[in-house]
Amino acid sequence: MTSNSVEPFAAVEIIAAKRERNELSDKQIDWTVDAFTRGAIADEQMSALLMAILLNGMNAREISRWTTAMINSGERMNWSMLDRPTADKHSTGGVGDKITLPLAPLVAACGGAVPQLSGRGLGHTGGTLDKLESIPGWRAELSNEEMLNVLKDTGAVICAAGAGLAPADKKLYALRDVTATVEAIPLIASSIMSKKIAEGTSALVLDVKTGSGAFMSDPKKAAELARTMVQLGVAAGVKTRALVTAMDVPLGLTAGNALEVRESIEVLAGGGPTDVVELTILLAREMIDAAGIVGKDPAVALQDGSAMDHWRRMIAAQGGDPHAKLPVAREQHLITAKNSGTMVTMDAMKVGVSAWRLGAGRSKQGEKVQAGAGIEMHAKPGDYVQAGAPLLTLHTDEPARFERALEILEGAISIEEGGTVNRLPLVIERIEG
């Protein structure tokens, strides 16, 4: 560890400044992020600063500078050698949110290039890479050169962020996770946007989820996060816009890795659940518009087979077999309706936690997930169901997991004769920079 005598600042002064609700200067922020990345600020000191930021906040200039400092901790990617504009999407995550899977090849089929750096799941929200890894042979880890080659060949790539991209974020994220500071809007916004800006895309569409199954369950907080991130993108010269979208009910009819891949393939084949199709087309149109792409309409590309063609090429380019059978869990458990009526509610958070308990998610980084585990939904709020009709099928390789998964689903679904459904609209707000 470097001694503070040769450093321009002392960590304790910066912690005290934020504790007293003072603004941090650009130089203080640059030094803090750099010093923490190289180990000159101890974890316990950064933990104290993160808590002070959570409690006392940061203004727009501080958040922007913090984000820039995180970007500058690593490399910036550059796609200027591509013959088409780049566009990307980031979702804050939810239950059954498999939109990235059909969206990337769809935008590629409409004339864009999609360099999509994705993550793994933690807790009740599924990770895009975990879903794709259920495809035999598919690999998430690509070098920058491999990433560029896949993009040139197929127009879309979905892979893990390399170690060189915003390394400060990786270190900070691990600390936020264990210090109860994940919820701080300045820290969420800078974490997401440092990676997305460093990724080098020219246009970015943010899908900020809200409702019981979202990380930001309060729509007002979700909109605040969306606005903060749009401002950060615009300040960095990236055409950025955000949609605040519903996550009070799971998206689509599946939650779990291979189950969601199967549903994504249905969407690419011109079918699939209406909410997944609607949101995929909506986000694709936003990406194409933000990037200034004049090409095929996404609704057409889903129907004429071109999006599916790009999906197969993208999967094959990353070592996957697009025609291979997807893994299926060894055990199933069916839940049926106790009474007839309209399904009024389906709690997205409870469904997500249940899928996680079945083995679809992980409770700590590095844990293995089951490819076939998860939940299939046979009805959604607004549907009329008869007593005894199937509601959910639970999938897992380990039957011992059913008990804890069923425990969390207690009260997750309500069915009432003549009941009215009170749901969030699919898109609650649209924010453009």
Cα–Cα distance measured from residue 298 to residue 205, given in angstroms and rounded to the nearest whole number: 15
Is 176 annotated in the active site? Answer: yes
Residues 135, 9 contacting (CB under 8 angstroms):
no
Of 12, 54, 280, 317, the C-alpha closest to 187 is: 54
57 φψ region: left (φ > 0), alpha (ψ -120 to 50), beta (else): left
Residue 182's CB is within 10 A of a number of other CB atoms, namely 16
Considering 88, 169, 248, 275, which one is annotated as catalytic? 169
Is 395 annotated in the active site? Answer: no
Considering 18, 65, 89, 90, which one is annotated as catalytic? 90
The set of residues, in sequence order, having a beta carbon less than 8 Å from that of 214 and lying 6+ positions away, is 92, 93, 94, 222, 247, 348
Considering 134, 191, 306, 354, which one is annotated as catalytic? 191
Cα–Cα distance measured from residue 361 to residue 373, given in angstroms and rounded to the nearest whole number: 9
Of 391, 399, 410, 340, the C-alpha closest to 373 is: 399
Considering 98, 124, 195, 209, which one is annotated as catalytic? 195
Is 97 annotated in the active site? Answer: no
State both tokens at 144.
């920058």
Is 378 annotated in the active site? Answer: no
Residues 168, 74 contacting (CB under 8 angstroms):
yes
Cα–Cα distance measured from residue 192 to residue 231, given in angstroms and rounded to the nearest whole number: 13
Is 177 annotated in the active site? Answer: no
Cα–Cα distance measured from residue 259 to residue 101, given in angstroms and rounded to the nearest whole number: 12
Considering 65, 124, 131, 176, which one is annotated as catalytic? 176
Beta bridge partners of 246: 210
Residues designated as active site: 90, 169, 176, 191, 195
